[in-house]
């Protein structure tokens, strides 16, 4: 039984280097703010474990997600936007395999269009959007869910990018948050799934042009989500031929090998 959770915060880290306005908000990158918040925000899940947190970015060798590093990762947090196409398919295969084995995956904001999220969902993951400095009100619709621990009935972000339905995702196993926007749209903004042995959480807020990841409620959601997504098992996929547990009676069955004559297919 592990006594800590190993977390990698992954960020493509392009907007912060190319856009002065974004760099002013996140001078060391979104990933640095998220990692720092996780270190300072205790999760409220029963039996919460301490975190071992590291970061990686798109331009690191192998995107910072080598076989060895992913093998030791319990929860991967993913933020991407403008460079989805630059993510190596080899790395996507690695991440998918680790999720199926038991690793948790938390996908943030525009990561809905990432290769890994779309592959695990099996849908387009398309939605409506608008960037107009709108207020977002996030309603907690599953207050008993561990990701919602310690949150009020709703909380608000004064400025965010709008995402609107229809969000083309498979039916979530549970929906923890629904957002309402100043322009009138609503959105399923906190969704949970299981794929293989792994857990996936999609959380909508986090447009790079706003200081969303400094918000204490957003930080609480992420801290709780890491605990929820942490592996319960780690099982490498196998498909072995297996011997029977009990002794089988001897049979003399040959029709499957020689074929069934015309007109003799019915059992009398």
- Residue 15 counted as domain residue: yes
- Residue 60 counted as domain residue: yes
> Two tokens at 192?
């949970």
Cα–Cα dist 141/192, whole Å: 13
Let me know: does 220 contact 214? Beta carbons within 8 Å.
no
**Domain extent for 212:** 5-124+189-229
pLDDT at residue 268, rounded to an integer = 45
- Residue 14 counted as domain residue: yes
**3-class DSSP state of 89:** helix
- Residue 236 counted as domain residue: no
- Residue 72 counted as domain residue: yes
Let me know: does 79 contact 177? Beta carbons within 8 Å.
no
Chain Cα centroid distance, residue 231: 13
> Two tokens at 120?
């695990």
Q: Which residues contact 58 (CB under 8 A, 6 or more apart)?
A: 11, 12, 13, 14, 80, 83, 86, 87
pLDDT at residue 57, rounded to an integer = 98
CA-CA distances (angstroms) from residue 61 to 56, 76, 233?
9, 17, 29
pLDDT tens-digit readout, 238-263: 899 999 999 998 877 666 555 556 55
- Residue 82 counted as domain residue: yes
pLDDT tens-digit readout, 57-105: 999 999 999 999 999 999 999 999 999 999 999 999 999 999 999 999 9
Query: How many domains would you assign to the chain?
Result: 1
Cis peptide bond prior to 150, omega within 30° of 0: no
**3-class DSSP state of 104:** strand
> Two tokens at 146?
């561990």
- Residue 155 counted as domain residue: no
- Residue 144 counted as domain residue: no
pLDDT at residue 186, rounded to an integer = 98
pLDDT at residue 42, rounded to an integer = 84
Give me the CATH number covering residue 221: 3.40.50.880
73 DSSP assignment = -
pLDDT at residue 256, rounded to an integer = 56
Using alpha carbons only, what angle is made at residue 117 by residues 113 and 122, rounded to the nearest 5 degrees? 100
* Location of structure tokens 């959007």: 129
Q: Which residue positions in the chain have pLDDT lower than 70?
A: 1, 253-268
């Amino acid at each position: 039984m592990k006594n800590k959770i190993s977390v990698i915060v992954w960020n493509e880290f392009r907007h912060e280097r190319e856009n002065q306005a974004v760099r002013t908000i996140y001078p060391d990158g979104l990933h640095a703010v998220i990692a720092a918040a996780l270190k300072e925000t205790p999760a409220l899940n029963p039996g919460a474990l301490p975190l071992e947190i590291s970061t990686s970015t798109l331009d690191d060798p192998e995107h910072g997600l080598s076989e060895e590093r992913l093998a030791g990762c319990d929860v991967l947090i993913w933020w991407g936007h403008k460079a989805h196409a630059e993510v190596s398919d080899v790395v996507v295969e690695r991440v998918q395999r680790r999720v199926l084995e038991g690793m948790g995956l938390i996908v943030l904001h525009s990561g809905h269009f990432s290769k890994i999220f779309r592959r695990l969902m099996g849908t387009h993951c398309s939605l409506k959007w608008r960037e107009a400095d709108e207020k977002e009100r996030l309603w907690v619709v599953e207050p008993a869910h561990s990701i919602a621990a310690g949150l009020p009935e709703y909380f608000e972000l004064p400025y965010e990018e709008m995402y609107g339905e229809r969000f083309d995702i498979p039916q979530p196993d549970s929906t923890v948050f629904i957002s309402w926007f100043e322009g009138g749209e609503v959105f399923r903004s906190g969704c949970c799934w299981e794929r293989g042995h792994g857990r996936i959480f999609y959380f909508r807020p986090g447009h790079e042009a706003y200081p969303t990841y400094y918000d204490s409620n957003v930080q609480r959601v992420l801290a709780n989500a890491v605990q929820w997504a942490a592996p319960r098992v780690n099982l490498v996929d196998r498909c072995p031929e297996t011997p029977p547990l009990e002794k089988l009676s001897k049979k003399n069955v040959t029709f499957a090998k020689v074929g069934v004559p015309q007109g003799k297919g019915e059992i009398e």
